[in-house]
């Protein structure tokens, strides 16, 4: 077990700059979501998103690394759902990131342009608004039990300003708790930058450095710049604080995944990722599940790692399974893990009907990788896992051209589905899932929250920023 800091990370020290990083924008493993229809044709334009992930919010509903809120979920009071409210997207003059989405029992919280909005869950009216110095560059997927989370913003309203302002906010009270300038010329932008929260610590990484703060505020726990042969490529939070450490050259990287002591930033244990790996994301921090791109930038394999940091099994995605990932350390969607199982969706394939496509959610043994069952989306439908709640795998059946979306609870024992929420067919829901990537959806407190985390000057005037569905 390592007894000291990870390479390039040392408590309360700054490592001298030895090499500068060149930012290259890659979108890793982007699978396009689209409505299934009778013709079976997908949209020729497709679409991209500036997710999280990183950003954006999502709700883990357990210990997975791909979620956000530590509580919530809750079975709706009834199954017949409707659009509760929507939020219009403001017009912008340039590409503008708006990552971040969270929920409390009474509020839906969404990043806007240079602000964070707290909206009443009942009708969407404004409960509070937190002004920011500039647009949000990155947002934590996670929050604490009492509603604290973190974002990184630009230092000014200029689109060329550095993303160097660490801001911790109270989602319940609608307050900015503290703000600090990230040291060492930090720039946590969309080119691989991310921020996360875990066990009383907020950690951010970017191409060129990393930093960790106590969530309560104060001096950095660690602050590093790129140096030596290794650097912290990103962090995953939630149940544990995990560092993705990249060593070697860009063309031949080697990865080490470390469990960190959140109070010191020192590595408690580590897993050296075997084989030739080009990209790596953390799908779950406890249990530890990794999504890797072996020899290529798109996801190719899933690795599950034991508590003593030993490889348990590797599952090849091939042409059968699908996981969408972006550049951030916890930017994967469509995969969930529990203590004994892993859940993934299959790629879209032809359905039994004359036209249309469908997919399934598969359950795997987390130790052996053997399949346990599959749960079908149904004819001309698409199903994706979201979170665990009340012992069930909560999944989103996307709308088709004939029906609205559904939230279904899948029994982990046998894969049987029970409808929790059935939505009427609406153009509003379709706008978030048709012909474009589905930014992280959030099911919490019996409500389905949909959002975008990237705006453009090319967007038409009726594009929504977010929409909330539920019973009421």
DSSP per-residue letters across 255-270: EEEEEE-TTT-BEEEE
Residue 29: predicted pLDDT: 37
Greatest Cα pair distance in the chain: 64
Alpha-carbon span 460 to 321, nearest angstrom: 34
| Closest-CA residue to 312 (of 240, 243, 366, 372) | 366
Q: Say whether pLDDT at 362 is over 60.
A: yes
Q: Say whether pLDDT at 55 is over 70.
A: no
Residue 51: predicted pLDDT: 27
Least confident of 5-9, 258-262, 359-363, 366-370: 5-9
> With contact defined as beta carbons under 8 Å apart, do 137 and 159 qualify?
no
Mean pLDDT of the chain: 84
Mean pLDDT over 71-85 rounds to 86
Q: Say whether pLDDT at 130 is over 80.
A: yes
Q: Say whether pLDDT at 17 is over 50.
A: no
277-295 pLDDT, tens digit per residue, is 999 999 999 999 999 999 7
Residue where the block lists tokens 């939630």: 238
pTM for this structure?
0.86
- More confident of the two residues 401 and 37: 401
Per CATH, the number for 80-470 is 2.130.10.10
Residue 67: predicted pLDDT: 38
Alpha-carbon span 180 to 160, nearest angstrom: 19
Look up residue 87 and give its two tokens: 């939020």
- Strands of 279-285's sheet, edge to edge? 279-285, 288-293, 301-305, 311-316
Least confident of 4-18, 317-331, 341-355: 4-18
Residue where the block lists tokens 């919010």: 57
* CA angle, residues 90, 421, 320, in degrees to nearest 5: 85
> With contact defined as beta carbons under 8 Å apart, do 408 and 395 qualify?
yes
Q: How far apart are the first and last CA of the chain?
A: 53
Alpha-carbon span 67 to 233, nearest angstrom: 20
204-256 pLDDT, tens digit per residue, is 999 889 999 999 999 999 998 766 689 999 999 999 999 999 998 877 889 99
44-53 pLDDT, tens digit per residue, is 222 222 222 2
- Report the Cα 193 to chain-centroid distance in Å: 13
The CA-atom distances, in angstroms, between 188 and each of 23, 117, 241 are 12, 22, 18
* CA angle, residues 396, 401, 402, in degrees to nearest 5: 90
Q: Say whether pLDDT at 472 is over 60.
A: yes
Residue where the block lists tokens 């990537």: 437
Least confident of 8-22, 63-77, 119-133, 326-340: 8-22
Confidence of residue 459 (pLDDT cuts 50, 70, 90): confident
Look up residue 465 and give its two tokens: 């920023």
Confidence of residue 307 (pLDDT cuts 50, 70, 90): very high
Residue 227: predicted pLDDT: 65
């Amino acid at each position: 077990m390592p007894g000291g800091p990870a390479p390039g990370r040392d408590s309360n020290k700054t490592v001298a700059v030895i090499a500068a990083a060149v930012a290259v924008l890659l979108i890793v493993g982007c699978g396009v979501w689209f409505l299934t229809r009778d013709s079976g044709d997908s949209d020729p334009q497709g679409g991209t998103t500036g997710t999280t992930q990183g950003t954006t919010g999502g709700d883990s509903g357990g210990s997975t690394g791909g979620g956000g809120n530590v509580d919530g979920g809750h079975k709706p009071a009834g199954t017949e759902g409707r659009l509760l409210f929507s939020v219009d997207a403001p017009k912008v003059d340039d590409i503008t990131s708006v990552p971040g989405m969270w929920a409390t029992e009474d509020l839906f919280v969404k990043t806007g342009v240079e602000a964070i909005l707290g909206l009443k869950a009942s009708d969407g009216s404004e409960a509070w608004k937190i002004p920011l110095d500039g647009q949000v560059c990155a947002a934590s997927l996670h929050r604490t039990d009492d509603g604290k989370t973190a974002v990184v913003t630009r230092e000014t309203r200029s689109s060329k300003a550095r993303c160097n302002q660490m801001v911790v906010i109270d989602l319940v009270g609608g307050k900015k708790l503290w703000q600090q300038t990230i040291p060492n010329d930090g720039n946590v932008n969309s080119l691989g930058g991310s921020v996360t929260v875990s066990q009383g610590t907020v950690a951010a990484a970017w191409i060129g450095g990393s930093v960790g703060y106590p969530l309560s505020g104060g001096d950095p726990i660690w602050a590093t710049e790129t140096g030596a042969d290794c650097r912290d490529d990103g962090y995953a939070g939630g149940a544990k604080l995990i560092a993705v450490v990249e060593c070697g050259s860009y063309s031949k990287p080697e990865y080490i995944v470390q469990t960190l002591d959140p109070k010191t930033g020192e590595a408690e244990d580590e897993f050296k990722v075997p084989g030739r790996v080009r990209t790596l994301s953390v799908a779950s921090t406890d249990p530890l599940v990794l999504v890797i791109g072996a020899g290529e930038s798109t996801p190719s394999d899933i690795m599950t790692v034991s508590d003593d940091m030993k490889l348990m099994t590797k599952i090849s995605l091939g042409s059968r399974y699908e996981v969408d990932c972006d550049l951030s350390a916890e930017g994967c969607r469509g995969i969930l893990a529990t203590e004994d199982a892993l859940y993934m969706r299959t790629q879209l394939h032809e359905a039994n009907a004359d036209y249309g496509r469908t997919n399934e959610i598969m359950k795997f043994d987390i130790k052996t990788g053997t399949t346990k069952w599959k749960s079908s989306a149904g004819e001309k439908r698409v199903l994706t896992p979201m979170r665990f709640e009340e012992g069930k795998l909560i999944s989103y059946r996307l709308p088709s051209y004939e029906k609205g979306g559904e939230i279904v609870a899948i029994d982990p024992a046998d894969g049987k589905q029970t409808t929790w929420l059935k939505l009427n067919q609406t153009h509003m829901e379709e706008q978030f899932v048709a012909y474009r990537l589905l930014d992280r959806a959030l099911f919490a407190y019996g409500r389905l929250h949909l959002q975008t985390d990237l705006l453009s000057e090319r967007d038409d005037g009726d594009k929504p920023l977010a929409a909330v569905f539920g019973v009421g």
